[in-house]
Amino acid sequence: MRKLLIVLGIGLFISGCSSNGNSTEVKTQEIEERTVAETPNAIDEVNVQEENGYKVVAKIDENLELTPNGDTFSEDLLVVRDANDLEKYGVVNKNGEMVIAPQFSYISSFNEGLAVAQQAGSDTYGFIDKTGEWVIEPQFSSASQFSEGLAFVQYQGENYIYIDKNGDRMIELNYESISMQVGANSIGFSEGLAPAHPENGTRLMGFIDKKGNWVIEPKFLFVSKFSEGLALAEDSESSLFGFIDQTGEWVIQPQYNQSQIDSFTLGVGYSKFSEGLALLEGDNEKFGYIDKTGNWVIEQKFDSPHHFSGGLAMVTYDPDDDASKNGFIDQTGNMFVQTYGNFNSFHDGFATTYMEGELNIISVQK
């Protein structure tokens, strides 16, 4: 295994803190099997509603609610928690049906068929499949989702490593702690590459492949993961941000400052390209979207936008400094779906919304 030092700043999906804060012995017994029939039915009868471009397809049982992470659908599954016991997490499908009963103290969204999970009463993490069964037993003090077959984890008291889906060590890293400021789009492999910096103490960053070989030499102050062939990078001379390709060459020259590319206050993370567009803040402190040539294609007029998914992006728009409009825009910037409740972004064609105190699953009405 090749030892090297991989990106220090990471974090939205790194699960390094126990939700209960208590250090207890890891429980290794099998989780009690619970079938859908043994759990509350998450579906109420719904008259399909067609309004403002979307339709309600299911109502989620009133005893369930969204997690504090504001999880969205991933691989047709949504993480929820027991409204009467907030430390119990479970999973429903796009029909609102319970597929994993609330029993874990933490579950990440699913990626590549697996999710990070923490067993109730334990301070370690492992990986479960879509039935709630352990694929990799809880044994890590910190863990991220799988990406391109590898997950970033840490055993208690050890350095961080990458493991495969068998739990085998693949890449060993040379540090014991990480910064939690950068976000999930700055850790792990994407398009065959992972952000990294060398062991010689320099803070310059580049990219390695899955064998630990340098593909883009460390010459940037910061880099994020690649998305659609481009990665956000910070120039070492100007400290401005732009986008590079997989040869390390600038495609969009460094010209943006930290505040323009940082959307953590929106719960979005750093700018990245999604469906051909990247979210950026303009000089007017409003957000818009650029294309891969760096041209603004959707003007800077939104207050709380998100990345595009399924052709839509969730935004808040206050055109008259009066009553804000919430909804989803298409890639021309037109309001495609106008909403009046509390919505989450569309993923896999579905989103969730609280309307009149009820948690609904919606889809786009075409």
Give the pLDDT confidence of 142-154 residue by residue, as tens digits. 999 999 999 989 8
User: Which tops the pLDDT comparison, 318 or 279?
Assistant: 279
User: Which tops the pLDDT comparison, 312 or 173?
Assistant: 312
3-state secondary structure of 274: strand
Chain mean position to CA 148: 15
Segment 340-356 shows an average pLDDT of 72
- Which range, 63-77, 180-194, 224-238, 305-319, is most confident? 224-238
Tell me the C-alpha distance between 81 and 93, whole Å.
13
Residue 363's pLDDT band, with cuts at 50, 70 and 90, is confident
Q: Which domains does the chain have, with CATH numbers?
A: 3-24+35-364 (2.130.10)
Instruction: Return the bridge partners of 142, or none.
Output: 154
Closest to 281 measured CA to CA, from 323, 270, 10, 273: 270
3-state secondary structure of 108: coil
**Predicted pLDDT at 120:** 86
**Predicted pLDDT at 180:** 37
Overall pTM surpassing 0.95 (yes/no): no
Closest to 6 measured CA to CA, from 223, 295, 166, 310: 223
| pLDDT at residue 1 is higher than 60 | no
